[in-house]
Amino acid sequence: MSGEDLILSLYNVCKRLNDIINVYPRYQFLETNSTITSMSFMHNRIGSEGAKYLATILETNTAITELYFSHENIGEDGAKHLANVLKSNTTLTNLTLESDNIGSKGAYNLAQALRINRTLTDLNLERNRIGNTGARHFARALNQNTTLTSLNFSRKNLDAQKFQQLVKFLGTNATITSMSFMHNRIGSQGAKYLAIILERNTAITTLYFSHENIGEDGVKHLANVLKTNMTLTNLTLEDDNIGSRGAYSLAQALRINMTLTDLNLERNRIGNTGARHFARALNQNTTLTILNITNNDIDDHLEERLFDKFNRSYQRVYSSND
């Protein structure tokens, strides 16, 4: 294994990170190491103090590009240490702080860092209770950041109003290509706001919008914009309660859209009626390569009909109903 491929993973370690660095000399080399590019710390007992030590390492390390620091309960203080080093670090491109209890204050510090940082491209803050206040901090910061390409705002307890504030900047943003919103409280009104943004945005290619209960009204807004959007290639609307009417709206969009290649509608109760809508639409659509309608209460004979649609001269994949 080459140095660039070496990944240091510390799963289920009993010692705190500061103990690892101070007691075991073999880990002190990270301050000046030039080969390890990816590190993962998850499910330990590292806390805010460990995040502080890690930030100290990142001040001098010029090799680490990916850092996964999840389920470590670093809190707002730990997030502040990492945010401070992000203002000067010019190496780190991918940062995951999942389930780290950073809260809205931690979100504020990270947002301030994003106003300055010009290296980070992928930020995952899933399950951190940043709430509407934290979302507002990021909304303001992202008006200035032109480097970030991927954002994950899942499980942030966002409502439609704060979601609207957060995504306003996307109307003219030309760098973010992938966004993920899952398990918030965005609903159909949030889907409407997103559709308005997608009318103007020409950068987003991948969108995950799942477990948001957008319903048939919300998906209708997204379907309408798909008729004109020429950028989005991957769309996931999993467990969004779109039903057969929502399936109809999307199927109508597929008759026109020639950009979307991957559509995931798992667990949406589209039933046999929704399956028939897609079967008809696929007679005209020649672009879609992946359609996932797993767990949608579709009869076997309709599954076979849809499979036949995907078994033409195109390299299509159909994810069957379970």
pLDDT tens sequence across 172-192: 778 999 999 998 889 999 999
Lowest mean pLDDT among 107-121, 139-153, 249-263, 301-315: 301-315
| 94-96/206-210 β-pairing | unpaired
Question: How many DSSP H helices and E strands does the chain contain?
Answer: 11, 12
Runs of H (alpha helix) within 61-159:
75-86, 103-114, 131-141
What the chain holds in terms of domains, given with CATH numbers, is: 158-322 (3.80.10.10)
Number of Cβ within 10 Å of residue 56's Cβ equals: 15
* pLDDT tens-place string over residues 130-176: 877 888 898 889 888 989 999 888 877 778 887 887 787 777 778 99
Q: Is the pLDDT of residue 111 over 90?
A: yes
CA neighbor of 208 nearest in space, from 187, 232, 246, 235? 235
Rounded Cα–Cα distance for residues 108 and 83 (Å): 9
| pTM of the entire predicted model | 0.80
> What is the DSSP code string of 235-265?
EE-TT---HHHHHHHHHHHHTT--S--EEE-
- Beta partners for residue 317, in sequence order: 290
Give the relative orientation of helices 47-60 and 75-86 as an angle to the nearest 10 degrees. Answer: 10
Q: Is the pLDDT of residue 9 over 60?
A: no
pLDDT of 250: 98
Integer angstrom CA distances of residue 24 from 15, 28, 55, 74, 257: 11, 7, 18, 22, 58
Per-residue pLDDT tens over the stretch 281-293? 988 998 998 899 8
Would you say residue 195 has pLDDT above 80?
yes
Task: Give whole-number Cα distances, 99 to 128, 156, 158, in Å.
Answer: 5, 11, 16
Share above pLDDT 70 across residues of the chain, in percent, rounded to a whole number: 87
Stretch 23-40: mean pLDDT: 70
pLDDT band, residue 309 (cuts 50/70/90): low
**Cα separation of 232 and 257, whole Å?**
10
Task: State how far the alpha carbon of 200 is from the alpha carbons of 128, 174, 252, 257, 283, in Å.
Answer: 30, 11, 21, 16, 29
Average pLDDT, the chain: 85
